[in-house]
Amino acid sequence: MTGDIVTAYIGLGSNLESPRGDRSRHLELAAKALSGIGEVTNMSSVYETTPWDVTDRQPDYLNAVAALSTAMDPSALVTTMLGIETDLGRERSEKNGSRVIDLDVLLFGNNVINQTGVQIPHPRLHERAFVLVPLAEINTTGVHPIFGITISELLSTVDISGVRRYGDAPSSR
């Protein structure tokens, strides 16, 4: 524990069912687990997204972002989140493979951390509409600590066509 309270933004994703439930249930269980390690002060809407950077056909993902107020240091937070993933049934069998749950630290206050197993901000945050859309929903004016531009400005640079609010009908465009 650092003792200092920091707001971390956590990306949540799921594209598989499990004995515990469907994709939506996995996000709920992960958010509940996060509230056990800090205070979830804000939660984005849930978005359905097409898989990113994969060559095989996978089911669509559900994605959201949680703002977590925590006193944990970044390394402990990442380790704890890996434990949550394991507890919820995640198996790591292939890079970018389908998963029951995925938790990523996107931002940790305004900190830049680059150590073994912990890279914050998330190194591909600026490329991924599936996290930028929900992150911008709850942190529009937040600034990327390396690029020095807002999350909204980052969002304007990516293709968001594969991201839709969960439950919304697909557009006919």
Q: How many CB atoms lie within 10 A of CB 150?
A: 16
Q: How many CA atoms lie within 13 A of 33 on its CB side?
A: 21
Distances (CA, A) of 31 to 25, 75, 146: 10, 19, 27
Q: What is the pLDDT of residue 31?
A: 95
Residue 100, pLDDT above cutoff 90: no
Percent pLDDT > 90 in the chain is: 70
Q: Is 173 annotated as catalytic? A: no
Q: Say whether 164 is catalytic.
A: no
Domain boundaries, the chain: 6-165
> What mean pLDDT comes out for the span 71-96?
84
Q: Tell me: the pLDDT tens digits for 28-76? A: 999 999 999 999 999 999 999 988 765 567 889 999 999 999 999 999 9
pLDDT band at 140 (very low <50, low <70, confident <90, very high): confident
Write the burial class of residue 42 (CB in 10 Å: 0-12 exposed, 13-18 middle, 19+ buried).
Answer: middle
- Is a pLDDT exceeding 60 seen at residue 79? yes
Residue 173 pLDDT level (bands cut at 50, 70, 90)? very low
61-70 and 6-14 strand pairing: antiparallel
Q: What is residue 109's predicted lDDT score, i.e. its pLDDT?
A: 94
Judge whether 168 counts as a catalytic residue: no
> CA 70, CA 116: separation in Å to the nearest integer?
21
The three-point CA angle 92-35-95 to 5° equals 15
From the list 25, 56, 87, 104, the catalytic residue is: 104
What is the value of pTM for the model shown?
0.90
Q: Which of 4, 56, 87, 90 is catalytic?
A: 90
Separation CA 17–CA 162 (nearest Å)? 21
Which of the following is catalytic: 23, 57, 73, 99? 99
Active-site hit among 102, 128, 159, 173: 102
For domain 6-165, the question of CATH label 3.30.70.560 is answered with: yes
Flag the least confident range among 38-42, 88-92, 128-132, 166-170. Answer: 166-170
Q: What is the pLDDT of residue 171?
A: 45
